[in-house]
Amino acid sequence: MTARILDGNALSAQLRGQLAERAAALAARGVQPCLAVILVGEDPASAVYVRNKVAGCEKAGMRSIKDVYAPDVDPAVVFARIAELNADPAVHGILVQLPLPKHFDPEAVLEAIAPEKDVDGFHAENVGALMQGNPRFIPCTPYGVMQMLKSKNVPLKGAEAVIVGRSNIVGKPMAMLLLAQSCTVTVCHSQSKDLAFHTKRADILVAAVGRARMITGDMIKPGATVIDVGINRLQSGPDAGKLCGDVDFESAKEVAGLITPVPGGVGPMTITMLLTNTIEAAERVAGAAK
Ligand code: GUN
């Protein structure tokens, strides 16, 4: 069997077309949706993500602000900038790219962002709202995964969903979203004893650990939907320098029913959902000003 491919580029293109229409409708009412992105340091992967986020805004007819700080910047400078962006009515979304340098307290930074502009959905208030089943902003990567499942009508009610990875950015919010759709959710992590025992039971398997090709075909239930959130650059071997996911695509596609590729799977959806959250923030502001 060869799995069907869940193409994140195609779904993103479709959704971004709709976003551009919403951005144009807002602009016609005098509101140009605007996302502010803060990058601290010189991590090359973060720099690429930020560049893609800013480019995504431009393509959708949205404004963006990009502030880049040196890796040794005084955190007070970044806090002052966040306060300024919080107070600026022309800014609808604020995002601080993670990870931050070691001398920052990342939680304090995320808490400094006004919850109604927290388009990443990482502020404790927004995490709590998601957990209570009443989200204000859904974290972008899990939000994108849910859109991908929806686009293929993957049955969720009563399905066994297994998430590998328990990060605040992906694993935990992913569990909340799948639970809200009545999946039976298992969250595995680095200390899980028999990973394959769990993954082999999954109707829906979400891999979000950041370890290249660690989920192999023999760990997958035949016909399962496999969502690969990992983006890893191979360091050695015949494919050195290439991007790959947490799933060993070649063996997994022979077993799975539906599978996301890397690149071109979840990655583009993350940015699409960031743009969606920013448009939603702007629409709330425009609605309140009516
Ligand atoms: N670093 C990795 N993923 C993300 C994300 O979704 N948002 C932010 N702000 N930083 C990240």
Give the Å distance between the CA of 152 and the centre of ligand 1: 26
User: What number of CA atoms fall less than 13 Å from residue 183's CA on the CB side?
Assistant: 27
Rounded to whole angstroms, the Cα distance separating 278 from 272 reads: 10
What is the radius of gyration, based on Cα positions, of the chain?
19
Residue 65 structural domain = 30-114
155, 226: one domain: yes
Q: What is the pLDDT along the chain (290 residues), one digit of tens a residue?
A: 699 999 999 999 999 999 999 999 999 999 999 999 999 999 999 999 999 999 999 999 999 999 999 999 999 999 999 999 999 999 999 999 999 999 999 999 999 999 999 999 999 999 999 999 999 999 999 999 999 999 999 999 999 999 999 999 999 999 999 999 999 999 999 999 999 999 999 999 999 999 999 999 999 999 999 999 999 999 999 999 999 999 999 999 999 999 999 999 999 999 999 999 999 999 999 997 76
Domain count, the chain: 2
98, 209: one domain: no
Does 98 sit in the ligand 1 pocket, CB within 6 Å? yes
Q: Which of 117, 118, 120, 203 is catalytic?
A: 120
171, 59: one domain: no
At 98, list the tokens: 């993670």
Give the pTM.
0.97
Does 95 sit in the ligand 1 pocket, CB within 6 Å? yes
226: β partners: 205, 259
**What pLDDT is attached to residue 288?**
77
Tell me if 284 is assigned to some domain. Answer: no
Does 169 sit in the ligand 1 pocket, CB within 6 Å? yes
Tell me if 182 is assigned to some domain. Answer: yes
Contacts of 116 (CB under 8 A, 6+ apart): 136, 281, 284
Tell me if 288 is assigned to some domain. Answer: no
Give the Å distance between the CA of 169 and the centre of ligand 1: 7
40, 110: one domain: yes
> CA–CA distance from 269 to each of 2, 11, 95, 148 (Å)?
23, 8, 17, 8
The ligand 1 atom at the shortest distance from the C-alpha of residue 270 is 6
Q: Is 97 assigned a catalytic role?
A: yes
Q: Exposure of 105 by Cβ count < 10 A (0-12 exposed, 13-18 middle, 19+ buried)? A: exposed
Tell me if 24 is assigned to some domain. Answer: no
152, 259: one domain: yes
Instruction: Calculate the CA 188 to chain-centre distance.
Output: 19
**What pLDDT is attached to residue 290?**
63
Give the Å distance between the CA of 289 and the centre of ligand 1: 30
**What pLDDT is attached to residue 289?**
72
Name the residue among 142, 46, 170, 137 with its Cα closest to residue 98: 46
Residue to mutate (ligand 1; options 46, 64, 98; most atoms within 8 A of CB): 98
- Look up residue 215 and give its DSSP letter: B
Identity of the amino acid at 190: S
Tell me if 232 is assigned to some domain. Answer: yes
Of the three residues 114, 131, 148, the one that is the final residue of a domain is 114
The CATH number covering residue 57 comes to 3.40.50.10860
65, 171: one domain: no
Q: Exposure of 82 by Cβ count < 10 A (0-12 exposed, 13-18 middle, 19+ buried)? A: buried
Give the Å distance between the CA of 97 and the centre of ligand 1: 5
Nearest CA to ligand 1 atom 1: 98
Of the three residues 65, 97, 114, the one that is the final residue of a domain is 114
Does 140 sit in the ligand 1 pocket, CB within 6 Å? yes
47, 106: one domain: yes
Instruction: Tally Cβ neighbours within 10 Å of residue 289.
Output: 10
Rounded to whole angstroms, the Cα distance separating 116 from 282 reads: 10
> CA–CA distance from 158 to each of 75, 163, 180, 184 (Å)?
46, 15, 11, 6
145, 37: one domain: no
Rounded to whole angstroms, the Cα distance separating 128 from 132 reads: 6
The CATH number covering residue 167 comes to 3.40.50.720
75, 168: one domain: no
Tell me if 171 is assigned to some domain. Answer: yes
Classify residue 99 as left (phi > 0), alpha (psi -120 to 50) or beta: beta
> CA–CA distance from 80 to each of 87, 113, 143 (Å)?
11, 11, 30
**What pLDDT is attached to residue 238?**
93
Residue 40 near residue 69 (C-beta atoms within 8 A): yes
152, 219: one domain: yes
Does 277 sit in the ligand 1 pocket, CB within 6 Å? no
94: β partners: 36
Does 231 sit in the ligand 1 pocket, CB within 6 Å? no
Does 26 sit in the ligand 1 pocket, CB within 6 Å? no
260, 151: one domain: yes
106, 48: one domain: yes
Tell me if 130 is assigned to some domain. Answer: no
**106: helix, strand or coil:** helix
Tell me if 45 is assigned to some domain. Answer: yes
